[in-house]
Structure 1
């Protein structure tokens, strides 16, 4: 294991908290993930500062009763999530688990490779052994005893006693600030209008002097159910110190057929903020969608209820509607019944989305019992919440209140807003199953990110309004200064570690801005709906899988210790990288997308929001690139903003001689050509051991790596070291290669440096289409750009593009509808030129996966032009772009070169075939005159015999 091939994340004390292997995963030959984790942890024990003697019990489970033992590490969990595995190792003392402390190891399973690990164990821990009698009494906790500990009055006959659901002994570090959640500061009338959900609390007695902030104690972790005003049968967890029987922590486990529904809220659908939640019934009714309600149970005695295999709707405040045949659940929008139908559909919709993405509900949500209760009318404020189950390891239900309080006589429920459902179940609900708590250690949740990403493709909102996370329900943050957004600027305190990074709702906006940037980069900023939808679904899948890779010992699950503790956030970033490492195997539609493409985009997105700063950098600045970050510049300076054209890299070029020239020349078929590439470094450290590899391919669109790429004759060249922050770069070449096909072949390069491999150097182990590989790895670049003559006027350009061929592949998993779009520079459009697809099928046709189709383009000649017109044009590129099911999969571009009078490549591979004006001297250069001593041109006679009237 080479230390230069992975990244370490240290805390303020210099202690290693995270190790990221995603760029160069470590292959393991072990028989199981657990065995791989055991070997790996022994290998990295020194890096983490672990005594190897403490790793001898990794296969043992923690004890239920204390034993005579100090620090050790034992197995907490070994789980599988969609092509990945995570092994959670808990730190123990007296054989008891130390709560939220230990190690986790994340792996891809096919093949078995280590992707990342994190450490949350306490390096220095001392615990006073409790008396044996105190331990025995603690584990026999009864309901009356818990009532006494909770300081409930014995004579209070109106309150039901708590019900003890589950207990276990743990070692717990008491921290005064976390004993109970804090309520937000009230802000007068604004607090009444826009409430934030605050979990309920109970008054606790003061702690005895023996309890010291920061010390460790043996405690009973007790999950129990207790009703309080406004919350019936609410589930709680308490940490009770076994000697004094005092509460060290108390937390409520809650946080924020056909029928008519809002598939998207009226503001998102219309793009107009006037269609708000305060609108009248007649206005809102116009935005209802009639759908089939899925997964319902069969009618009982002819009556259909909103009850199915995954969700049932019930509320003590408003009876859930039922219907007889024809079972038509159609209601006005401002009614409790409409909210009930939306509650059923949207909750079932979320779980259906998980299943469609390939997750198994029984394993991904293994602590949740289905069907789940959805309460469509829980209260009377603008809010919703998602409680845990009785044991704290699954979802207990979803409670919806109102979306608007301006007219409670005609109520509009918050269940009608899909964004709200995504925040509650996708934000808090799924966390219960994986970390047994409602919140991340550094952010309120990832729920706002789901709301922002999954609603963007179909949103009609534009400009700044696009970035309002809840435009309809208008959820605010702690300051009630405005609606939550996902375009927060680092410069104004919205970066990681900035003034607004509070670990709660403000940090959630920092996270949603970060993850929305991932979505935008991989297609969300496309103008095409299908590209946006693909990007949204893939981004949501990665977030879901990253949460599935969390365990109670993950750094992301543990509250940050201070503003400079970036380990929880960085661990979440690494979990996202690890989630991307293996293939996305979708169930509906049934298709597989290669993994490993988006790791660098994810890292960059967090960097742009202020993570990965250097020590001393201001918190209003973005983060730093990786220490070594070599790249081939495609116009984005090594970054990852969305770019629709990934095949036009100008830092790749061809020469017909090894002369070091910098102008791109059209290759000559069958002869040795010479390719060059410029490599730069946006990292702060010198890039060493730089290696560049070159490939070429038949002129094609929709290529797949490595299948369609042929190594150049000089497949590999070693480059000189590249200094840090070198935006000028070094030229590597010449790469000798021999084009084998007529027309301009595609060129493809990858660059490796120690500490910065290309994704194809180890992260990606199989085939991957160019449209997912090239734009998302700055170590990879492609040029499908052919120069065409612009210095000789109209006739040479027409000749160069006459029936110009290229191949097209469908790289998608299934049959796709192909659409070809050709665009011309403005100056040619004004002159009346047109580009046409003249091959069979024209510009729109179906194509099965992996099938190659020959495409021919042609031009309709317009007015003549001069070299000066080309030089004066801001755009000189002719583009032919290919979309498969709406997703841009590649293209060919033709650069009109003002210094090129004619093309040197003919349809049959010979010189100067074009019907254009050329100099005789140039013509003779191509003539076969080996025995000629001298040539003088006296007369040229050309005779052409045409058949019939075929002359055009």
Structure 2
């Protein structure tokens, strides 16, 4: 069967030249055709490549797609050939490399992901070059050039000044490589750091015969020179077209959060360029920002009783104990990263307590920060290593513990070096992380307290650990193409939770990604990075804009951190409660990490990965991984809330930075919304800016007669008789909303409800809203006929709407999981809730008091843990001015057992005030009595009672 890109069950991405680059079979997988001759992954992948050839424009390339690449100079044209099949978890990744002369092209072709149980395809990507490619046929003997390259030959080509310092690890393989001058030198070597004295900026120019953008046959040479490297040598001219270094940059006192984020506004960050020793903060000034934390998972003390900073997740490298460790051993004849200092040890009571401006403090932070993040991953329900029960894992290949060197580099304030992720010989996994010691005074021989360790920064550590994760899955420390990494996003999100600049603060300092590192230098590409670039779209800060420079600088990384931080804010990061911010951070990070965990790369001689080609594709991957679960994979739950509920806020965040527009020199106004997006308005016009009052929609309304298409005035439910519910739905998607379906639910009025336990379906079949709803228009859908229970003239109502290509969170039923209303409703514009009841006000205060006194509600606990709930009251100005007060028949504070579904009933009394009239009510727009239920973890719900001057008692 052919692939229909018009299907609402498919997510797809095209590039600026209208070539298809990604398909995600989101709501409907691709499966074997009815006439399949085999039920095997290979047969399915082959069928898919044939059926997808029209939309991927690959029909002329697939004749020999299941033949392995091999040199054939007669094939002077491009083909797709099966380079490798990689098994990862329950998936098989079929890597079809684009070839010329039968030689694989570097990271070009198609990848098809086949899930084995059930046998289906959910994702495919293409990096095929559709342009006309012409490579001169070489002399056959030239194919052997540089296959036995010597050290002296290599050093001459590289312009290495010190002879015999390189070690050649491999020179066996050819590939086809497209030369790009701006990408010729790759890898994040810290500025000013010269491994073995080699300065890669002295690399000789390429031959004048080399044309930027053309393809060439190159010899891949892997070598060691202080660190591990690779280079591509053009076989006829000997020009180096590509050069990459495999580096991306007990109890104990630690820096859990940087001083500035803790409120150190009067201290000058010590990494600021130009800061003098006299203005550097002293140890007494800095020490107050340390915290005493337990160092978890340490190995037992040695036989002499010395506790080392070595444990299950982290190991601070010791030049004596680790002399044979891969991070230090050959092929490092004079390893640039041999630790310059031995990490500290302590005897009982094992108190690693040091001043901030010391190497020892840096060593303790190295251990603590790595252990802290890996423990965070485990706390999300993501394993570090695969097991027989669950083959998925975050670090399936990287050896644990992660090696950390607390002072591998040495620098000064004028050449600040943070750290680097060090790759192995093939750059297929991380050997460890190396950090810098910044000298705060002028060498030589500065005093021991004139140091500041980059390892004290959790932000820098998170950035480097993102490289470790990417290396494990993609065999490269960064995303290939659209962003340097996702490390800045982790740094921004996880360090916002307890920052003094988080809400209720409105300071713009909240959006400084590295607030304690180099913030005043003004130098792009170091630590002067921000995650509010959406405020500068006119200056090119948007996806496809002038600042979207891909993986060759940190600009696109800032766009990614801006985007994901915006999604974090929408999911609760903008709450004033740090526990709600922590929930949002954990949820968004779970989606990011799960997505990265499913990327794959070839292990063969040509680099080829399944990572996304652009920001819109990464958004689609996040959306897919958030919602898709398989039989042997338990859904990740954060604080008892399952995944599958974040992708809409994530999609909106990418939308706001123009990820769904074609590249443009000017920012689109407004940016293009998703293809399909039907919604019920809760006051945000279908968008996802954070709100805490999520129960006030007026787009759901009840009528006593079936007249909702002509009269949208809400009437309180009339018990024991037929009522009619209607809802207004709107479309903000690029395409028409078709096959619109609506469901309605009710529950006893209150707060702390969870889906699905507390909600009763009102309609046996979804109510149709028809098709053809165009962008920007709305439609009344209904009625849903129902009979309110006896004694309830106020109920809580919840409606969902779906259309082709856009379904609500409730569409993904997963047994034994729940979603609390406080997260379900504001994170999905397909869902709206009405806990808004009308109080009669026709006779003024007499009616209002009687109606309020007849009202009551339940307080439930949506959490597994016991909680306390405070009932916060807001009275409109009219009632306050006339001396009225609202009270409950219970305390304003209610304690609840874990996951209490029966709840505590509360009755309302409105009393003690002066009378007011109907006309007084009509003369004000402030008519809402709002009761908000606030737990120590954040708002869990509420009710609104709106005084209606036209409603009789």
- Scaled to the shorter chain, the TM-score interval is 0.7 to 0.9
- Measured in 2, the distance between the counterparts of 1:771 and 1:582 equals 22
The alpha-carbon distance between structure 1 residues 339 and 837, as it changes in their structure 2 partners (threshold 3 A), is farther
2:488 counterpart SS class: helix
1:469 positional shift: 1.3
- Measured in 2, the distance between the counterparts of 1:480 and 1:591 equals 36
2:127 maps to what in 1?
Answer: 120
2:325 maps to what in 1?
Answer: none
Equivalent of 1:605 in 653, 661, 683? 653
2:780 maps to what in 1?
Answer: 731
2:532 maps to what in 1?
Answer: 487
Equivalent of 1:87 in 79, 83, 93? 93
Equivalent of 1:435 in 458, 471, 474? 474
2:374 maps to what in 1?
Answer: 351
1:259 positional shift: 0.9
1:691 equivalent to 2:741? Answer: yes
1:485 positional shift: 1.5
The alpha-carbon distance between structure 1 residues 183 and 486, as it changes in their structure 2 partners (threshold 3 A), is closer
1:355 positional shift: 2.4
1:845 positional shift: 1.9
- Measured in 2, the distance between the counterparts of 1:32 and 1:569 equals 33
2:843 maps to what in 1?
Answer: 792
- Measured in 2, the distance between the counterparts of 1:55 and 1:327 equals 67
TM-score (norm 1): 0.82
The alpha-carbon distance between structure 1 residues 33 and 283, as it changes in their structure 2 partners (threshold 3 A), is farther
2:274 maps to what in 1?
Answer: none
- Measured in 2, the distance between the counterparts of 1:454 and 1:874 equals 41
**Pairing of 1:91-490 with structure 2 (within 5 A):** 91-93=97-99, 97-105=104-112, 115-123=122-130, 143=151, 146-147=154-155, 149-152=157-160, 156-157=162-163, 160-164=165-169, 168-181=173-186, 201=200, 203-208=202-207, 211-227=210-226, 234-242=227-235, 246-270=239-263, 272=265, 274=267, 276-277=269-270, 278-300=280-302, 301-314=304-317, 316-362=339-385, 363-377=393-407, 378-381=409-412, 382-386=416-420, 387-402=422-437, 405=440, 409=447, 410-426=450-466, 428-440=467-479, 441-461=481-501, 462=505, 463-475=507-519, 478-479=523-524, 483-488=528-533, 489=535, 490=537
Asked if the contact 2:730/2:776 (under 8 Å) is kept, the reply is: yes
Asked if the contact 2:871/2:933 (under 8 Å) is kept, the reply is: yes
Equivalent of 2:79 in 54, 71, 86? 71
1:201 positional shift: 1.7
243-252 vs 614-623, which moves further: 614-623
1:175 positional shift: 2.7
- Measured in 2, the distance between the counterparts of 1:679 and 1:98 equals 49
1:231 maps to what in 2?
Answer: none
Deviations 1:821-860 (A, max 9, x none): 2322242345554444545x86332333373324223225
1:496 maps to what in 2?
Answer: 543
- Measured in 1, the distance between the counterparts of 2:83 and 2:850 equals 71
**Pairing of 1:688-767 with structure 2 (within 5 A):** 688-713=738-763, 715-719=765-769, 721=771, 724-726=774-776, 729-740=778-789, 742-743=791-792, 744-761=794-811
1:397 counterpart SS class: strand
1:442 positional shift: 2.0
Asked if the contact 1:106/1:578 (under 8 Å) is kept, the reply is: no
2:7 counterpart SS class: helix
Deviations 1:203-258 (A, max 9, x none): 4344456654434444343332212xxxxxx1112223456554321111112211
2:627 maps to what in 1?
Answer: 581
The alpha-carbon distance between structure 1 residues 237 and 838, as it changes in their structure 2 partners (threshold 3 A), is farther
1:892 equivalent to 2:943? Answer: yes
- Measured in 1, the distance between the counterparts of 2:810 and 2:689 equals 21
Equivalent of 2:590 in 541, 544, 548? 541
1:940 maps to what in 2?
Answer: none
The alpha-carbon distance between structure 1 residues 164 and 35, as it changes in their structure 2 partners (threshold 3 A), is same
- Measured in 1, the distance between the counterparts of 2:175 and 2:281 equals 52
1:526 positional shift: 1.1
Asked if the contact 2:681/2:730 (under 8 Å) is kept, the reply is: yes
Deviations 1:627-677 (A, max 9, x none): 443221110011111111222111111111123322211101221111121
- Measured in 1, the distance between the counterparts of 2:311 and 2:658 equals 45
Asked if the contact 1:634/1:648 (under 8 Å) is kept, the reply is: yes
1:264 positional shift: 0.5
1:364 positional shift: 2.5
Asked if the contact 1:819/1:844 (under 8 Å) is kept, the reply is: yes
1:646 equivalent to 2:694? Answer: yes
Asked if the contact 1:311/1:374 (under 8 Å) is kept, the reply is: yes
- Measured in 1, the distance between the counterparts of 2:834 and 2:7 equals 31
1:666 maps to what in 2?
Answer: 716
- Measured in 2, the distance between the counterparts of 1:296 and 1:701 equals 44
- Measured in 2, the distance between the counterparts of 1:885 and 1:334 equals 37
Asked if the contact 1:356/1:586 (under 8 Å) is kept, the reply is: no
- Measured in 2, the distance between the counterparts of 1:510 and 1:664 equals 44
- Measured in 2, the distance between the counterparts of 1:42 and 1:356 equals 43
- Measured in 1, the distance between the counterparts of 2:456 and 2:184 equals 35
2:429 counterpart SS class: coil
The alpha-carbon distance between structure 1 residues 202 and 695, as it changes in their structure 2 partners (threshold 3 A), is same
1:540 counterpart SS class: helix
- Measured in 2, the distance between the counterparts of 1:458 and 1:109 equals 43
The alpha-carbon distance between structure 1 residues 397 and 802, as it changes in their structure 2 partners (threshold 3 A), is same
1:492 positional shift: 3.1
The alpha-carbon distance between structure 1 residues 755 and 312, as it changes in their structure 2 partners (threshold 3 A), is closer
1:466 counterpart SS class: helix
The alpha-carbon distance between structure 1 residues 135 and 777, as it changes in their structure 2 partners (threshold 3 A), is same
1:634 equivalent to 2:682? Answer: yes
1:608 positional shift: 0.7
1:45 counterpart SS class: coil
1:789 positional shift: 2.4
1:771 maps to what in 2?
Answer: 822
- Measured in 2, the distance between the counterparts of 1:615 and 1:337 equals 49
Which structure has the bigger radius of gyration? 1
1:944 maps to what in 2?
Answer: none
1:45 maps to what in 2?
Answer: 53
1:520 positional shift: 0.3
TM-score (norm 2): 0.82
1:412 counterpart SS class: strand
2:62 counterpart SS class: helix
1:520 maps to what in 2?
Answer: 569
6-15 vs 575-584, which moves further: 575-584
1:899 counterpart SS class: coil
- Measured in 2, the distance between the counterparts of 1:449 and 1:113 equals 32
1:522 positional shift: 0.4
The alpha-carbon distance between structure 1 residues 403 and 675, as it changes in their structure 2 partners (threshold 3 A), is farther
1:423 counterpart SS class: helix
1:346 positional shift: 1.0
- Measured in 1, the distance between the counterparts of 2:457 and 2:40 equals 44
1:249 counterpart SS class: strand
> In the comparison of the two structures, how many residue pairs are matched?
870
Asked if the contact 2:232/2:241 (under 8 Å) is kept, the reply is: yes
- Measured in 1, the distance between the counterparts of 2:722 and 2:932 equals 29
Structure 1 residue ranges without an equivalent (≥5): 228-233, 561-565, 903-952
1:401 counterpart SS class: strand
The alpha-carbon distance between structure 1 residues 210 and 614, as it changes in their structure 2 partners (threshold 3 A), is closer
